[in-house]
A and B are shown apart, each in its own frame.
Chain A
Amino acid sequence: MKQLFALLTVLALCSIPAAAQKKPVPKTKAKTSASGAVSGAVLAKGKAVYVQNCLTCHQADGLGVDEMNPPLSKTSYVLGDKARLVNIILNGMQGQDIDGEPYRNLMPSFSTLTDQQIADVLTYVRSSFGNKTSAVQAAEVKTIRAANKK
């Protein structure tokens, strides 16, 4: 009886951290609410990554710099294929016309950002500057990063 009680206690204790670990999982999966809007917390995290890494070139309003750094507002690159977009962050980019316009500056690789940071910043960009399209998940970034390495 005593042994059984001890076993139950151990099981109960174990399930506490398990439950605690479970919590963030649905959170990352359920970034978009039922209405499709991205949560304010995710946007705030994404914005922080943007300010630290992207703002100098793409500017606070996301409209870029004429001839130099491309805008992030309603361009096919930002609104289109997620894999192409994630790969630009991982590999950098130069000399690519965007929607018919040339840009001369070089974007370095930001592959040191974590999957979560890349997901957050792209989710922020895809729902800011006049953009309104789906969030990017850390798991998607992970898959794209793995394919990018091959």
Chain B
Amino acid sequence: MNRSVTRYLLLAPALVGSLSLLALRSETIVAADPDNAGLKLPAGFGALKVAETGGRARHLTVTPQGNIYVKLNRPNADGKGILMLRPSSGGKAEVAGSLGNYGGTGIYSTKDYLYASSDEAVFRYKLNAQGEVESPAQPEKIVTGLINRKQHESKSITLDREGNLYVNIGAYSNTCQEQDRQKGSKGKPHCPILDSAGGIWQFRTDKLNQSYGQGVRYATGLRNVVGLDWNTQANQLFVMQHGRDQLYDNFPALYNSKQSAELPAECLYALKKGDNAGWPYLYYDPQQKKKMLNPEYGGDGKKEATGNYIDPAAAYPAHTAPNALLFYTGTMFPEKYRNGAFIAFHGSWNRAPEPQKGYYVVFQPFKNGKPSGPWEVFADNFAGSAAAAAAGRPEHKPCGLAQGPDGSLYVSDDRKGTIYRIVYNKK
């Protein structure tokens, strides 16, 4: 009797020990899918589909424990707009819970807090030592009452390291015309939209119910920013602007449809407090490498814009819709990627009738906190085929980027809700 009890007592820790070993192994072994999840990647990289969420997965964030939080564009069937995924086996994850009764785009986490945005507000939730939200029904509403007029509604967010939150408030317009998107309509003088939108606003992370009165218009003249991130090397905010649409549709006498497909560039800006990037008065021409006066304000494709407007830090193909920006600080990927930028291009629609473009993740090398050298396509073929991309009918659309605790790069897709994980295999 005594003996058998002892035996069981010995057996129990042995069992626990082997179980935890198993758990450890399942977490450390990340197996790329045989087809790399359908993606085309540089040599040495692999990819797997972490999960199929079935929702419109906008941005995502990964906690130090490996929990993934995904912001859905609209609440799911359970009425929840944030999914929580827990690591399962082989590097994958499964949905373990959901919270938040609002759709939106922005999501960001620190060790202690999860931040998420609707299209009008920003909330924060305390995370426990396991990287879980303990009171999902009682978030702190830190920002409220932001303007949402459907167009460019995403309130993307990021943080610096000094307790500040940066929120994109997109302009609810193409170029601040008297009649939005109307052929030939002139731009409004001293565009009134810029008072409450068309820029990045700064708030505190730890104050409740802040709105325009409590925030700071950190930078203006930015039409719509969906991807933004804080660069810790430069100690500076970087943002990706969605450039203006429809030069040909609205000004056919000045631009043809081919020019309209290639103009203007999608721009990366390095921002300082008080900067003005020039929307709606100008657009950036990547061939001429010049800031051009918009035709709504008297431009003709040749006149340069005058005024105190910043230059982009880098430029990318027109209309490809940069929806996420992430500075890579991990050590899993080779040295050249460290402190460089990954940019998820959601893909174009405004290049029609020319072939559509984008649906890829780009890598932009950086040196000493500045873009250095040409960008390259890092992860391609989210569309499924070149024909699907050209037709603007992709299978997946990359929308969010996040770095895992091991240095994996996670990508969310807001078309089918696939969550990808890209890893480096070569040792």
A contact set with B: CB distance below 8 Å: 51, 53, 55-57, 59-61, 63, 65-69, 94-95, 102, 104-109, 112
**B212-263: which residues lie under 8 A (CB-CB) from chain A?**
245-246, 248-249
Q: Is the CB of B179 within 8 A of A109?
A: yes
| Main SS class of interface, B | loop
Contacting residue for B181 out of A51, A102, A108, CB 8 A: A108
CA distance A109 to B181 in the complex (A): 9
Measured between alpha carbons, how far is A109 from B253 in the docked complex, in Å? Answer: 19
Q: How far is the CA of A51 from the CA of B249 in the complex (A)?
A: 10
Q: How far is the CA of A55 from the CA of B74 in the complex (A)?
A: 28
Flag if A95 contacts B150 (CB, 8 Å): yes
> B153 in the interface, Cβ–Cβ < 8 Å?
yes
Interchain CB contact under 8 A, B183 and A56: no
**Least Cβ–Cβ distance between A53 and chain B, in angstroms:** 8
Residues on B with C-beta less than 8 A from A112 are 183
A-B contact number at CB 8 A = 51
Q: Are A104 and B183 closer than 8 Å at their CB atoms?
A: no
Tell me if A108 and B392 are in contact (CB < 8 A). no
Bound: A112/B393 CA distance, A: 31
Distance in angstroms from A114 CB to nearest chain B CB is 15
State in angstroms the CA–CA spacing of A29 and B73 once bound together: 47
- With A66-B397, A106-B181 given, can you name 13 additional A-B contacts, CB distance below 8 Å? A53-B249, A56-B245, A56-B246, A56-B248, A56-B350, A59-B392, A94-B151, A95-B150, A104-B151, A104-B153, A106-B150, A106-B151, A108-B185
Q: Tell yes or no: B359 within 8 A of A by CB.
A: no
Cα distance A66–B391 in the bound complex, in angstroms: 13
| A67, B179: Cβ atoms closer than 8 Å | no
- State the CA gap A94–B181 with chains docked (Å): 12
Q: Which of B176-197 contact A (CB under 8 A)?
A: 179-183, 185
Bound together, the chains give a CA A65 to CA B319 distance in angstroms of 13
Nearest-Cβ distance from residue A48 to partner chain B, whole angstroms: 13
Cβ contacts under 8 Å, A60 to chain B: 352-353
Instruction: Assess whether A104 is in contact with B182, with CB atoms less than 8 Å apart.
Output: no
- CB neighbours (8 Å) of B181 from chain A are 106-108
Which residues of chain A have C-beta atoms less than 8 A from B248's C-beta? Answer: 56
Task: Determine whether the beta carbon of A65 is less than 8 Å from that of B392.
Answer: yes
Closest to A69 in B: B349
CB-CB under 8 A from B245, the residues of chain A are 56
Return chain A residues, CB-CB under 8 Å to B180: 106, 108
Contact (Cβ within 8 A) B352 A59: yes
B415 within 8 A of A: yes
CA distance A47 to B353 in the complex (A): 13
- Given known A-B contacts A59-B352, A104-B150, A67 and B73 have beta carbons under 8 A apart: yes
Q: Distance (Å) between the CB of A73 and the closest chain B CB?
A: 13
Taking the nearest CB of chain B, how far is it from the CB of A126, in angstroms? 21
Supply 17 A–B pairs (Cβ within 8 Å), ascending by A: A56-B248, A56-B249, A56-B350, A56-B352, A59-B349, A59-B352, A59-B392, A61-B391, A61-B393, A65-B392, A68-B349, A94-B151, A102-B74, A105-B150, A107-B181, A108-B183, A108-B185
